[in-house]
Amino acid sequence: MGFGYFPDGSPVRSGYFRNIQVMYSLNNLTDPAYAMKIFEDQPTCYKMNDYGFLGKLLGYLVLYGGTGGACGN
C-alpha cells in the first residue's frame, strides 16, 4: 500500500483518496459530516490518516501507506 512509507501528511509519499463523498440518498452526494472511522488490522504494517475536509482542491482527504513486508504472517 502506498510507496513503502507510513502516511506523513504528504500525498507524494503516501497513497491517498481525495474528494471523498458520501451518498445519503439516491443521487445526493455530500462531504462526510464527521470523521470517518479508521480500521487498521495490521498497524505495524500500514496506517491510514483521516485529514478531513481540506478545501476545494483536495476535498475530504485520507492518506494511507506502510512499509509492507511479511507483516506478521
Give the residue from 37, 29, 39, 38 showing the smallest Cα distance to 59: 29
Whole-model pTM: value is 0.74
Alpha carbon 42 to its chain centroid, in Å, reads 15
Look at residue 22 in the predicted model and tell me its pLDDT: 85
Closest CA to 2 of 12, 60, 69: 12
Q: What is the pLDDT along the chain (73 residues), one digit of tens a residue?
A: 556 788 888 777 888 888 888 887 788 888 877 777 778 888 888 888 888 888 888 888 889 888 776 676 5
Residue 2's pLDDT is 53
| Cβ(6)–Cβ(48) below 8 Å | no
> What is the model's pLDDT at position 39?
80
